[in-house]
């Protein structure tokens, strides 16, 4: 009985000490939200604050919240768990800065991360949210039919941009800056790595008086990330061999249109 009471008091004392040190001696100060970019490095900033003497860090662990195994653990200066080569501490060996570095950030890295730190003077933990955006590829424009377009026939133009996030927009313009966006339909395809492809389709009647179309890809904030231009590939008119002078004139006229 006596030993049991002794045990209880030890547990109670330990709890008291722990609570005291968490409240007073050591705290973990983390940036609440980080905005990362696909393909770049993301720094999840956390530092250990102590009110008294400098503390010695015994263990640092980083977790995805809700997961059973940690992403990264350093115990007494040794890496004992590293789930992915892209994960590391930004300043290994520092007794203050326990920031987590995610190299070559992926869209699937988006989520909540928990940092836990155990020092010789107490422990603390904190949660950071990582958001990851992705820039769209430069758009590719194409036409159906691909070439030999005949005057006054129906054609379809495409403007595709891939690998962005969040969902963006495609705007269409004609040769004199006419805004054709309302005549186009943009579809969004999700990629397996949680990005999106945009494919915008614009169907029109071909006219050599309006031979050029432009499209512009904007991110979710309306900022242009890329643009492309397409000159409708009209069928070359056959030049009549019987009238060499007129034929030469036609060639000159066509060159003017093309340049």
Indicate the residue among 121 and 216 with the shorter CB distance to ligand NAG.
216
DSSP state of 68: S
Q: 202, exposed or middle or buried, with CB in 10 Å at 0-12, 13-18, 19+?
A: buried
Interacting residues with ligand NAG (CB under 6 A): 140, 142, 158, 160, 162, 171, 179, 181-182, 189, 191, 197, 199
Least distance in angstroms from the C-beta of 135 to ligand NAG? 14
Q: Phi and psi (nearest 5°) for 245? A: -65, -45
Indicate the residue among 114 and 160 with the shorter CB distance to ligand NAG.
160
| Whole-number Å distance between alpha carbons of 82 and 152 | 62
| Whole-number Å distance between alpha carbons of 216 and 202 | 13
Least distance in angstroms from the C-beta of 104 to ligand NAG? 18
Indicate the residue among 58 and 155 with the shorter CB distance to ligand NAG.
155
Least distance in angstroms from the C-beta of 177 to ligand NAG? 8
Indicate the residue among 61 and 214 with the shorter CB distance to ligand NAG.
214
Helical (H) or strand (E) element with 115: strand 111-119
Residue position matching structure tokens 């570095």: 101
Least distance in angstroms from the C-beta of 143 to ligand NAG? 9
């Amino acid at each position: 009985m006596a030993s049991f009471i002794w045990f209880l008091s030890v547990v109670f004392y330990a709890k008291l000490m722990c609570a005291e040190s968490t409240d007073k001696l050591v705290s973990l100060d983390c940036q609440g939200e980080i905005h990362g970019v696909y393909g770049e490095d993301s720094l999840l900033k956390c530092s250990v604050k102590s009110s008294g003497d400098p503390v010695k860090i015994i263990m640092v662990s980083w977790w995805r919240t809700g997961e059973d195994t940690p992403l990264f653990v350093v115990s007494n200066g040794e890496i004992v768990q590293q789930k992915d080569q892209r994960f590391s501490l930004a300043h290994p060996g520092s007794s203050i800065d326990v920031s987590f570095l995610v190299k070559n950030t992926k869209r699937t890295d988006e989520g909540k991360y928990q940092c836990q730190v155990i020092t010789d003077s107490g422990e603390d933990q904190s949660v950071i949210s990582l958001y990851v955006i992705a820039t769209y590829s430069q758009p590719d424009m194409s036409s159906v039919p691909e070439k030999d377009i005949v005057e006054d026939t129906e054609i379809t133009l495409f403007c595709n941009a891939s690998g962005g996030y969040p969902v963006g927009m495609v705007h269409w313009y004609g040769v004199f800056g006419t805004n054709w966006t309302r005549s186009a339909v943009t579809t969004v395809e999700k990629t397996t790595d949680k990005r999106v492809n945009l494919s915008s389709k614009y169907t029109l009647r071909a006219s050599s008086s309006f031979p050029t179309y432009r499209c512009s890809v904007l991110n979710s904030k309306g900022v242009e990330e890329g643009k492309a231009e397409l000159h409708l590939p009209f069928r070359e008119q056959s030049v009549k061999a019987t009238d060499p002078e007129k034929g030469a004139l036609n060639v000159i006229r066509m060159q003017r249109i093309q340049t």
